[in-house]
Every structure is written in structure tokens, then in C-alpha cells.
Amino acid sequence: MDNKLKFLVIMVLFFTIFNQNIFSYFKETFTEKDQIILMGDSMFANEDYVYYNEAVANHLLKRHYNTLSVAKDGAVIKDLDGQLSKIPERHKKKENLVFISIGGNDILKEYDKKIANKSDMKMISEIFKDYKNAVLKIQEESKMTVILLNLYYPPTMTDFFQLIDYWNEAVNIFANERDIKVLEVSKLLTKANHFEDDIEPSNKGGKILGRALYEKAYKK
């Protein structure tokens, strides 16, 4: 084999490997053409508590056009099945992202302030079993890349803080086991003016969360 032929063979091999790596890179990198889905509760569906066009989904939509929210105010874990059915089949693929915020209303339904600070972890463990099963079902049936949100600590809900600690720790353990990313809203919405009606993201809180969702999508 003469030198020219050797050179051509080497160049063909180089560009073949190079192109494969580039293709793999772009397949694993989120782009503006990919879809973001929001599932869950009023951490996303907070439009009734803020000014027009200031909900979390609106703030994300301003940054990423391909955004769809099927979240609903007051939603609990069992409502995720219905939300999943509202996602078009064309969106159900690995390249697309689904953010899930759920569980807070389940806790509020089972605990009131009189018993929350007694730290009955048995009940919250049962709730978390339902949570895990719901997330795994979404992963399996939608094929989308899941990113979980933990719970924040509303300043007026201090009686629930120990339960939230337990829940957030459980989310992190579960996420690590399943190699799922977590957006820690507990570190983002921390001030009184980040909330409306005690537990809903305010205009300011919604803007912070919308930006965080966008950044998490592109840095996942």
C-alpha cells in the first residue's frame, strides 16, 4: 500500500470516528427543538396565584418555545396517570424532558399542623412508595428523560419542615439509585416573597423557577 492510499484510509477512519462522536454528542445534548413537559401540581400550575402570563410555565415558555404543561393545581400522585395520557405520543422519546413536581398535596392531605410536627414517618413512607411507582411508570411508558423536583420549605409551614426533610432525602436516594437528575427547588425558593397563599410560587418565585427549569434542561 503506497503512502497516498495509506493516508486516504487513515483520513476515512478519522472522519468516520469523528462523525460518530459528533452525532452521539448532539443526540445526548438538549436543544431548542426538543420538548419540555411539566407534570404535577401547582409548583408549575400556579397561574391562579400570580399576574397574567407570570406562571412558572409562562416563564419557561419565554425561554424555551417547545414547552407543554399538563400540571394541575391541587394534583396528587394518582393524578399523574391522567396527565401522562394528555402528552402527545410524538413527544414520548428519550430526547425530550419531563419535569415532575408531585407529593406535596399528598402530604398536606394526610397531615395537618397538629400532627405534622410529631413526625409520623410511616405514613409518608407509604406516600413515597406511590411516588416511586408513578415516576417509574412515567419513565417506562413515556421513554422521556425524567427530572424530579424536591419540595421547598415555605416559611409559613415550619411544622412540616421535618417531614419535608424526610421526603427530600428519600427523593435524593431514589434518584441516585435510578440515575435520575433532581432540581432542588428547596435551595431556590427560600424567601417569603417567593410564595403566594403560603405555598404557591409567587410572581418572583415563578420567575426564579422558570429560569431554573430552563438551565437544568440545558445543563442536565
* Secondary structure (DSSP) of 80-147: HHHHHHTS-GGG-STTSEEEEE-SHHHHHHH--HHHHTT--HHHHHHHHHHHHHHHHHHHHHH-PEEE
What pTM was computed for the model?
A: 0.85
Give me the count of residues in the chain: 220
Torsion over CA: 100, 74, 155, 191 (sign)? positive
> Is pLDDT above 80 for 6?
no
CATH superfamily for 31-219 is SGNH hydrolase (3.40.50.1110)
Residue with more model confidence, 8 or 79: 79
- Domain range list for the chain: 1-29, 31-219
pLDDT at 47: 97
Residue with more model confidence, 146 or 11: 146
pLDDT digits (tens, 9 = 90+) for 18-37: 344 433 333 457 788 899 99
